[in-house]
Amino acid sequence: MLRTGFAIRGLDPDKAVDELNRSVPLGHIAEPEEIADVIGFLASDAARYICGALIKVNGGKPVG
């Protein structure tokens, strides 16, 4: 979520991001570059044998 999304909801963006960071086992929510790295891998020849897989890019955070 973008920081502006927190502000629109009346939350302090820095506090909200800190709280989310604590909820992710890897210690932080994803940066755009981390998502782009996965997309780059999936678009590369290195991923040529991946077919129909769900790739979770969530830093280990459980869903729910």
Q: What is the pLDDT of residue 46?
A: 97
Any domain includes 11: yes
Q: What is the pLDDT of residue 60?
A: 93
Q: What is the pLDDT of residue 2?
A: 64
Any domain includes 42: yes
**Radius of gyration of the chain measured on its C-alpha atoms:** 15
Q: pLDDT for 11-64, tens place per residue?
A: 998 999 999 899 999 999 888 899 999 999 999 999 999 999 999 999 999 876
Backbone φ/ψ region at 63: left (φ over 0), alpha (ψ -120 to 50), beta: beta
Q: Is residue 1 scored above 60 in pLDDT?
A: no
Any domain includes 52: no
Any domain includes 28: yes
Any domain includes 53: no
Handedness of CA 33, 34, 35, 37 (dihedral sign): positive
Number of domain units in the chain:
1
pTM, two decimal places: 0.73
For residues 28 and 59, give the distance between their C-alpha atoms in angstroms, rounded to a whole number: 7
